[in-house]
Amino acid sequence: MTLCKGTSMLGRGVKRKWSSLEELGANLVLDTPVMGDNEGPSKPDTNHLQQRQLVLGLCLEKLQRYQAGMELSLRRSVLLVNTLKQIQEEMRSDSCLFVDDMSVTCPGCVEEETILPLDSEFSSQQVDGSSDQHKPPPAAAISAFGDAVGYLSDLALDDIFEDIDTSMYESSDLPSAWAAGPSWPLSVSLWPDEDLKLRTSSHSSTGGLQSCLTDLNELDHIMEILVKS
Amino acid sequence: CMINHHTFSTFHKKNLSLLFTADIISTVEFNHSGELLATGDKGGRIVIFQQEPESGNQPQCRAEYNVYSTFQSHEPEFDYLKSLEIEEKINKIRWLPQKNAAHFLLSTNDKTIKLWKISERDKRPEGYNLKEENGRYKDPYSITALRVPVFRPTDLMVEASPRRVFSNAHTYHINSISVNSDCETYLSADDLRINLWHLEITDHSFNIVDIKPANMEDLTEVITASEFHPNQCNTFVYSSSKGAVRLCDMRAAALCDQHTKIFEEPEDPNYRSFFSEIISSISDVKFSHTGRYMMTRDYLSVKIWDLNMETRPVETYQVHEYLRSKLCSLYENDCIFDKFECCWSGNDSVVMTGSYNNFFRMLDRGSGQDVTLEASRENIQPQSVLRPCNVSTGGKRKKDEIGVDSLDFNKKILHTAWHPLDNIIAVATINNLYIFNDQLN
């Protein structure tokens, strides 16, 4: 299976060039409109998983890229995040399915003992010889994806946003959001509460952390003036 | 009136791109008489065209419009709190019904709405005592007598002056404005809130819809468009990114968070994909002139709703169904987020919307017929008739057909407008404005 050239699953702000639809048409085998093909588990599932992987990567890339200094379109961000959530839900339910019902396995997967390390699923540019080799890759992929839910949150936190200046988005919500669990670590930084920022700026006290920072800044400022005079 | 009998032709197509200096057209709107056509662009400018007076009577060439007024409506601003620029791009223009000789319109960017007065001046005062005709001050000691200045005819001047500025009411980006049928109030909608204004009052507005969740992490749906009912001054609708339209009655409550009706069609399970929600997001909502129907535009289709039936639309038209198999690519190149507008013909019998490759679609509700036309300089001679275009999806391509993979997705028609009383249409490509009229038999 090949992805488009230059697709990185969790890109670090690499700007992808506009590619004409014809180019994409040649490379993308994944434009399958209908998910309801019921020929059997193997081919449509493969296609579906491949597409899901691609869309997941694109989603993250778009969300990350979009944050870098440009004004957020809330509609676009919400749509991207909802798509991401949908994929995540699907991944989670797939992994649950695999874990809960051990008797249900995809044909050809039973002998597959090794669970693919996550690195090979996520960070490699070419995903992936391993998928091609097994008849239905899902089994290995599913278990990998199952772990990925937890991994994804850590990954999202550390790797995706490490070079993004998130100082703008500091708010009292932030600590609780990160602590809220792996289910949705990305949301807070995507659309900070604009009203909160406005209110904080006018010094009405909301959010302990933010007002503390404001007070400290003021204190510093006053100290500076006193020292100079 | 069937499409077949009303083929569209151009008269005296002008190369209007020169007037725009490569600025992207962001909105197009006829006034209530159709005499004036306003366009807004990404640079914050408004250009108003006026129908050539004689052309209104000539059956074949009613589409002649000349520049009437050009002015800078909005300037770029900087939000120091967020360290972000506020774009000067004009998102929407809405005309007020005309009450006197002057014309009034509302224009908005992401944050600020302005009321502009456009008036004509064809006389000017002459004979000031202290100033020369060229404006220079006279030497006071040279004045020996007083005279009364008089008005003398002069060349027509069209002036645009800002009469009201409605600011600081929107935290998020304004996507819609709509003048109420009472002609005294209007609404403005951003991603999460809708405000009601009185045209005379700029220092406060009423918040009538607020869908912001207590915890922003719970946000899953935003407002995409909003409009007042054309006749009922208490009724308005707003559409969402999840494909629902809510109708609200302002008499029911001050804050219309509880909708009176919700128009939503259940998703077709056969078409479910990762992109289902994105393509269901409504990009435009427009009431019919009669007020009985409402039209919504989502990524692939146009739907007509009867206000009395919430469960499903009464008519659905596919705009470019051939794109359904390309959604992944369109997601990758961001085209899937494009927001297309739609409009009704004056008598509500035809609806129009744009597409890619500079195509636009006209859908005749009466006959069920539809046509795809192209707005492009290469194809058009003055007084020529636009030929219908076809997009082929299959392997075999007929002559004069264009394949899906050959479509230019950079050439998109997002904004179209239909003259309220005549079959004259305005179609905006990225940089050019095209005005067509139909050929009456």
**What was the pLDDT predicted at A49?**
87
For the cut 90, the answer to whether the pLDDT of residue B310 exceeds it is yes
From the CA of B328, how many Å to the nearest CA of chain A? Answer: 6
Chain A contact for B224 (CB, 8 A cutoff): yes
pLDDT average, residue stretch B74-81: 89
Residues of A in contact with B406 (CB under 8 A): 22
For the cut 90, the answer to whether the pLDDT of residue B223 exceeds it is yes
The B residues from 76 to 105 touching A (CB cutoff 8 Å) are 81-85, 87
The pLDDT confidence band at residue A201, using thresholds 50, 70 and 90, is low
Residue A95 tokens read as 């992994």
Predicted confidence (pLDDT) per residue in B22-64, tens digit: 489 999 999 999 999 999 999 999 999 999 887 656 666 677 8
For B436, how many CA atoms within 13 A lie in the half-sphere containing its CB?
27
Residue A142 vs residue B148, higher pLDDT: B148
The pLDDT confidence band at residue A187, using thresholds 50, 70 and 90, is very low
The pLDDT confidence band at residue A150, using thresholds 50, 70 and 90, is very low
ipTM of the complex: 0.89
For A207, how many CA atoms within 13 A lie in the half-sphere containing its CB?
22
Predicted confidence (pLDDT) per residue in A71-87, tens digit: 678 999 999 999 999 99
Residue B10 tokens read as 């151009």
Predicted confidence (pLDDT) per residue in B120-162, tens digit: 998 988 888 888 888 888 888 888 889 999 999 988 899 999 9
Predicted confidence (pLDDT) per residue in B268-286, tens digit: 888 889 999 999 999 999 9
Q: Which neighbouring-strand residues pair with B355? A: none
Pairing relationship of beta strands B284-287 and B293-297 according to DSSP bridges: antiparallel
Predicted confidence (pLDDT) per residue in A78-126, tens digit: 999 999 999 999 888 887 766 554 444 434 333 333 333 333 333 333 3
**Measured between alpha carbons, how far is A191 from A211 in angstroms, rounded to an integer?**
20
Give the residue carrying structure tokens 């819609």: B176
pTM of the model: 0.74
**What was the pLDDT predicted at B138?**
86
Q: What is the largest CA-CA distance in chain A?
A: 82
Whether B433 and B48 have beta carbons less than 8 Å apart is answered as no
Pick from B86, B111, B207, B216 the residue to mutate for testing the A interface (most A CBs within 10 Å): B216
**Measured between alpha carbons, how far is B23 from B32 in angstroms, rounded to an integer?**
26
Q: Which neighbouring-strand residues pair with B193? A: B210
Q: Please give, one letter per residue, the 3-state secondary structure of A157-209.
A: HHHHCCCCCCHHHCCCHHHHHHHCCCCCCCHHHHCCCHHHHHHHHCCCCCCHH
From the CA of A111, how many Å to the nearest CA of chain B? Answer: 31
Closest chain B residue to A183, measured at CA: B217
Mean pLDDT is lowest, of A32-41, B301-310, B327-336, for A32-41
pLDDT average, residue stretch B418-439: 89
